[in-house]
Structure 1
Amino acid sequence: MGKHKISNKTYVGSAIDLNKRFKDYLSPSYLAKELLKHNNIIYKALLKYGYDKFDLEILEYCDKNSILKREQYYIDKIKPLYNICTVAGSSLGRITTLETREKLKAAWVIKKLNQVGVKQVEVTDINTGNVEVYQSIRQTAIALKTNHTTVRKYINNQQLYLNRYKFKVIV
């Protein structure tokens, strides 16, 4: 259980791997990254107030088969204000705004593109100033009526293609 020393607001959570949980929670960069995916009140509070404004208490050690049951027991008993969800192991009660859903969708698409090695390519026409973004090097090549090897060569050499097009890879 985490407890804010000034407001006495609490958070109840559980972990199968306590070391990993501590490592994640004690990393401001991890919390900031996770905030892009989830509107997590405890992450915001930790980043806003700092770790020294919170007390941490391990309420109970238990086997992994009963972890959610025990977490639910403490959620029901303590009624923690930093918990968004009132059901252990569930996202019930979590409100996801349209903006958050759009961010999640964009992050998911980028993650999938990166997993398969696809890189977006930004193409700037220096004559007109127009900028187009293509979802892959191959898509860029098709649009410019060339092949992917040529596009890759100009990206790597950072030269203008046809003395007109500037390529920039977006990862």
Structure 2
Amino acid sequence: MIYNIMIKFTKLFMSTDSKPNINPIRFYNNAEESKSIILLENKNKSGIYKWENKISGEYYIGSAIDLSKRMSEYYRESYITHPSRGKSIICYALVKYGYDNFSLSILEYCSKTKLISREQYYLDLLNPPYNILKYAYSSEGYKHTLEAIQKMSLAKKGKFTKEDNSFYGKTHTEEVKKLMSQAALKRTKPNNAKPVYLKDSDNNIIGDFKSMTELSLYLKADKATLTKYRDSNRLFRKLYYIVSKSN
């Protein structure tokens, strides 16, 4: 009797492929055909979203303060093919497969202050294959947990090895590498571009950017704000130093 109850309980909350069965607030089966309504229905709404590849079954979890604005970025080719997206699996999957082969789910709407905790909930629950980073974060002034900061710091210093590294044992496919190479070739350097280094709190170089614009896209932060932190030599988000390469 108890065994049968447990089976029924499991079937209720799990899908046939053993993934948790979540009923989204909104579901768009064809992201290409639903583009207009996606942008309209989610304007000025904050929440958690999921892109799912209908061919491979792989998916990505993300959050946004303005879902419509975030989705408009995904729909902009110049954004998803920019070199700063080089390690974004979801961006290159969208390029490779096309929007018509992706569905988009809005898992839930929530307040801005709960975005990180709710995104982390779904990351832990679903373990999405397209997410390289397994810790939720926001570029809008929210703070990482101490544990997340420590793990990111160790990763930047190369102290994560083997199973502790989320990318251990994985490589980009040749097709994805080709897409990344094509995107890099499209990049043009502005005449007034000022290259900068991104360093961690111990002054170790963790990134080399050709311009502040490229860095702002990478960090999802305002360029003017980043410039102030570069000029004042203060820690940005209490994690990074921004240093001009001419220094």
Measured after TM superposition, the shift of residue 44 of structure 1 is 0.8
Query: What amino acid is aligned across from residue 12 of structure 1 in structure 2?
Result: I
Instruction: Please state if 1:8 is matched with 2:57.
Output: yes
Measured after TM superposition, the shift of residue 94 of structure 1 is 7.5
Q: Aligned residue for 2:101?
A: 53
1:127-150 Cα shifts (integer Å, max 9, x gaps): xxxxxxxxxxxxxxxxxxxxxxxx
Measured after TM superposition, the shift of residue 59 of structure 1 is 0.1
Measured after TM superposition, the shift of residue 56 of structure 1 is 0.2
Distance 2:214 2:89 in 1: 25
Q: How does 1:44-123 map to 2 (within 5 A)?
A: 44-89=92-137, 92=152, 105-108=208-211
Distance 1:108 1:88, change over 3 A: same
Measured after TM superposition, the shift of residue 29 of structure 1 is 1.3
Q: Which stretches in structure 2 are left out of the alignment for 5+ residues?
A: 1-49, 138-143, 153-164, 168-183, 185-196, 198-204, 216-223, 228-247
Instruction: Please state if 1:30 is matched with 2:79.
Output: yes
Measured after TM superposition, the shift of residue 106 of structure 1 is 3.9
Give the TM-score normalised by the residue count of structure 1.
0.54
The count of residues paired between Structure 1 and Structure 2 equals: 108
Distance 1:60 1:79 in 2: 17
Query: What amino acid is aligned across from residue 100 of structure 2 in structure 1?
Result: D
Measured after TM superposition, the shift of residue 105 of structure 1 is 1.9
Q: Is the 8 A contact 2:132 2:166 kept in 1?
A: yes
Measured after TM superposition, the shift of residue 109 of structure 1 is 6.4
3-state DSSP of counterpart to 2:73: helix
Q: Aligned residue for 1:168?
A: none
Distance 1:109 1:4, change over 3 A: closer
Query: What amino acid is aligned across from residue 9 of structure 1 in structure 2?
Result: E
Measured after TM superposition, the shift of residue 37 of structure 1 is 4.9
Distance 1:43 1:111, change over 3 A: closer
Q: Which stretches in structure 1 are left out of the alignment for 5+ residues?
A: 117-171
1:6-44 Cα shifts (integer Å, max 9, x gaps): 1110100000011210110011111111x4354100011
Q: Aligned residue for 2:67?
A: 18
Aligned structure 1 segments of 4 or more residues deviating by more than 2 angstroms = 35-38, 90-95, 108-112
The sequence identity of aligned pairs, in percent, is 40
3-state DSSP of counterpart to 1:14: strand
* Larger-gyration structure (1/2): 1
